[in-house]
Amino acid sequence: MKNLIRKSIYVLLSFALLTSCKAVKNSSHKQRGATVGATSGAVIGGVLGNNVGKGNNTALGAIIGAVVGGVAGGYIGDRMDRQAERIEEEIPGAEVTRVGEGINVIFNEDAGVYFDTNKSGVKGTSATTLDKLAGIFKEYPKSYILVEGHTDSAGPDDYNMMLSQQRAESVTQYLVAKGITAGRFTTKWYGESQPRESNDTSEGKAKNRRVELAIVANEELKEEAKEKTGN
């Protein structure tokens, strides 16, 4: 599993504790983008997101923010291992990272989900990829899913914010139409504000035009983990 990166939950928990003070300090700042999905929104708020990862990685922050820890966390992590492996098997172009008790999945132009210039409709290869992803989400129903939209720096900032919103919502709506419960989703968008690579090259821009997912345990799985492990 060449793309699957397993990181120690204990390291992440320590990192979360170290960064939590900064997170609280910055949490009053106005967040860019908006949130859709009242049911899961409170669960995947990702307060730590503004302080984690290259380019303020809110998806990674949401995963760390949802950590349970202890033996129960290990139980959740085991199930996330299996789901991550399924995503890699079915969608080999996706960048899948196992982080603590969650999964970070990145789709860009080279990884299965992409959009025509200035468009937000899901079609062709993107539809095929999302069909496979919907099937996996049905196999593993005990999770919340954060969907984020991102763009490169070409064009005005306000236009990029709108475009990232349209693309993130398009992905969420497509998955819901395929039978995934709407309450499992939180949808956010950040325009050009969270680049993964430099926007000075065409290759960098291609990596920045992306949809990113954070997959974490829902309340049912957390309770199951605590009951099974006595944690």
pLDDT of res. 74: 95
For residue range 104-131, what is the model confidence (pLDDT) as tens digits?
999 877 777 877 777 777 888 889 999 9
Q: Which CA distances in Å does 94 have to 65, 70, 186?
A: 23, 29, 20
For residue range 142-154, what is the model confidence (pLDDT) as tens digits?
999 999 999 999 9
Question: Which has the higher per-residue pLDDT, 28 or 49?
Answer: 49
Q: % helix / strand / coil in the chain, to the nearest 5?
A: 50, 15, 35
Q: Number of C-alpha atoms within 13 angstroms, CB side, residue 85? A: 7
- Domains in the chain, ordered, with CATH? 6-23+31-229 (3.30.1330.60)
pTM surpassing 0.85? Answer: no
Range 13-28 average pLDDT:
35
In one-letter notation, the amino acid at residue 132 is K
Percentage of the chain lying above the pLDDT 90 cut: 54
pLDDT above 70 for 75:
yes
For residue range 34-60, what is the model confidence (pLDDT) as tens digits?
333 333 433 444 433 333 444 468 888
Question: What is 27-59 written as a DSSP string?
Answer: TTSPPSS--B-HHHHTTT--GGGGGSTTTT-HH
**Cα 84 from Cα 104, distance rounded (Å):** 9
Percentage of the chain lying above the pLDDT 70 cut: 75
